[in-house]
Structure 1
Amino acid sequence: MKIYGLKNCDTCRKALKSSPDSVLVDIRTDGMPEGLLETAYGQFGAKLVNTRSTTWRGLDEAERAGEPLALLRAHPALMKRPLIERDGELFLGWDQNTRAALGVS
């Protein structure tokens, strides 16, 4: 299982701690595999952009109105975290539903 997020993100660290056999991929330093961002956006749509983040609040209106995938490529911290990939299946966030689907507590 791969957890795409930020190494300094508390939620990503919780997910990693709950799944010790998983690997954290820091999207700021390592980037995302080709096509994964597009696939995730196709599945989750606008939910993939974290509009509550500090990064989002720092953008001006013109930037916010930009194409979501371009924004996520330019500002990786805008992605809602974590994005979890397990056996080709994607999960977004670390809520109760995601933990139940992954079989972790």
Structure 2
Amino acid sequence: MDQDLAIAALAALAHSTRLNAFRLLVRHEPDGLPTGALVEASGLTQSTFSTHLAVLAKAGLVIAERQGRQQIQRANIDMLRALMTFLAKDCCQGRAELCEPLLADLACC
């Protein structure tokens, strides 16, 4: 991942509605959620939420898949992994043992 992609992803997540929606999608992997369920969870109108969803999709964080008459939204876990790796790559000046507390926090979830 290059810096421009990381900035776009972080900017997309820098809004509470988008961050909450993305986190909800991550929790529902690998099945994803219908767009209507995301709209309902957000408490916003369809058109307002669609704008937020478009920002996440443009940043590569969300992928839409048609299943019959529904659009299923899924978190792009590969993009999330790339972003996390980009952010942690220089962690602890190359001393992996210093990053162990971070990994322990992730293991609990």
Higher relative contact order (CA 8 A, sep 6+): 1
**Which entry has the higher C-alpha Rg, 1 or 2?**
2
TM-score range, shorter chain: under 0.3
| TM-score, normalised relative to structure 1 | 0.26
| Greater helix proportion | 2
